[in-house]
Amino acid sequence: MSKSNCEELIGILWIMLSLMLFDRECIYFAWVTLSLGIFCQLCSIVFSLMAAIKKRLERKVGTSKENENGR
């Protein structure tokens, strides 16, 4: 997680905590927002990992093809 993502998540948590303290009816909205925020962060992490794996596999395939052509 990058620093900006962590700061956004902390900001969301702070807003939801203040909503829950001042208005009990907002607790369901806060939990839905928190769940959605965590889901979005997890999706972001998964997509960045998939991109890194794809890039690494492309490098491996490229080097193995070069080795075969060199022989």
Three-class SS of 8-28: HHHHHHHHHHHHHHHCHHHHH
The answer to whether 15 and 51 have CB atoms below 8 angstroms apart is no
Q: Which of 8, 1, 58, 65 is nearest to 33 (CA)?
A: 8
Who wins on pLDDT, 65 or 48? 48
Does the pLDDT of residue 61 top 60, yes or no? yes
pLDDT band at 68 (very low <50, low <70, confident <90, very high): low
Convert the pLDDT of each residue in 13-57 to its tens digit: 777 777 666 666 667 777 777 788 888 888 888 888 999 999 998
Q: What is the pLDDT of residue 3?
A: 63
The answer to whether 1 and 45 have CB atoms below 8 angstroms apart is yes
Contacts of 8 (CB under 8 A, 6+ apart): 37
Output the pTM of the full model: 0.51
